Amino acid sequence: MSLSAYTAEEVAAAAAVLARQGIDGLELNLSCPNIEGDGHLFAANPRAAAAVTAACRAAVSLPLWCKLSPVAAAPADIAKACEDAGADALIAGNTLPALALGENGAPLLGAGAGGLSGPPRKPVALRHVSEVSRASTLPVIGCGGVATLKDALDHFNVGAKAVAVGSATLSRPTAMVRLIDALADWTLAKQTSGAVVQEGRARLGTPPETTPTTPLTKTPKTPTTPLPTMASTESDHPVARARKALA
């Protein structure tokens, strides 16, 4: 569940209400404006980001994932502040401020400016993931321009532990299912769970993983073999239905 509000107290209060509904975790969207910071983003400075995270940490015991902004002046400081305040993971990051005009010169969006997402944001996202993962020991979820296997691997190479897929699903609703399949095939083909990623992290100066990896054994694929990352093997699960439609 993604959550934001205008003050740290409002975010914490909403988090407490949602926790009673039985959700599994919370994404704190620190990329939204807040009243206490004169309309600036919570993620614009370490103090504001830490205040929201700490308030929610005191209110709930749920996992807290802090969604950071790529336009923050000091992303490393923001990441460390969230970690020290009790975050469990970091999401790097969100859309970029942008403006699109129609043929008549008027903004295409009713509010005027908006957020740029999709493939054009990937280079910025990779820089953001790289800086955040170096500054924090928390898991980092890469977010920005992920549509293909190459996109996901690029995020992993700069330190991401997982990736988020957003805009790609608007043009291809099955994008996430296809990416899961591609990652599974790539991992089996490499016969290792991390050698290529470790090589990329080493080139970037990112601390290598300390946990030894276990080589995977390739097994023949069958139409009935579920992906290891699927939430359920039930035939009526949305991912299972999507995969069946693609077969």
- Tell me the DSSP string of 175-207: HHHHHHHHHHHHHHHHTSSSHHHHHHHHHHTPP
Q: Report d(CA 224, CA 226) in Å as an integer.
A: 6
Catalytic: which of 32, 66, 82, 143?
32
How does DSSP assign 125-182, residue by residue?
HHHHHHHHHHH-SS-EEEESS--SHHHHHHHHHTT-SEEE--THHHH-TTHHHHHHHH
| Residue at 206: amino acid letter | T
- Kind plus residue range of the DSSP H or E element containing 2: strand 2-3
Among 183, 165, 162, CA closest to 174: 165
Whether 56 is a known active-site residue: answer: no
CA atoms of 162 and 177, how far apart (whole Å): 15
CA distances from 111 to 70, 101, 108, 140, 242 (A): 21, 12, 9, 31, 35
How far is it between the farthest Cα atoms of the chain?
59
Active site residues: 32
